[in-house]
Amino acid sequence: MDLKALDKALLEILKKREELSKIDYNNPKYDDLEEALHDLEDDFQEQYGEYLEEALQGVHDSVCPENDVLMPIAYLGKGVPVEVDKFAGKDTKLIIAPTPTRIVLAVGKDKQEVMWTAK
C-alpha cells in the first residue's frame, strides 16, 4: 500500500469538500466542483475502499459491533456517528483522518482516540 498516495488522495477529497462547502448551489462553479468531488471519491473508493473497509470492520468489531460498516468516504471529514457502550449517551463518531491516514474515535468535542493507523 502506497501510504503517501493514500494520504494525498484523502487530503484532495477533504480540500475539495471544503471548497464546495464555501459556495452555494447558485454559484456557476458548484456543479463542476461537485462533479470533481464525486470523481475523486469514486477513485478513492476504487483504489483504497477494500483496504479501508477491512480496517473499519476491525474497528467496528472492537468498539461498536452493532453498527454497520459504511463506505470509507462516509467517514471522511465529519465522520459517522456510532454507538459505543463504553461512552453510552455521548456523541461518538468514527472519522478517517489524514497525515497519517488513521481511524479516530471522537467522543464529544474534546476527546479523540486513534483506533487504527495505516501501515
Nearest to 52 by CA among 72, 67, 68, 35: 72
Nearest to 46 by CA among 14, 71, 79, 83: 71
- Say how many domains are in the chain: 1
Does residue 116 register a pLDDT over 90? Answer: yes
CA–CA distance, 71 with 63 (Å, rounded to integer): 18
In tens, the pLDDT along 33-85 reads 999 999 999 999 999 999 999 999 999 999 999 999 999 999 998 899 999 99
For residue 50, how many other CB atoms are within 10 A of its CB? 11
Print the domain residue range for 34.
Answer: 3-117
pTM of the predicted structure, to 2 decimals = 0.90
Nearest to 14 by CA among 43, 40, 32: 40
Beta bridge mates, 113: 105
Question: What pLDDT does 67 receive?
Answer: 95
CA–CA distance, 100 with 102 (Å, rounded to integer): 6
Nearest to 92 by CA among 108, 71, 115, 103: 108
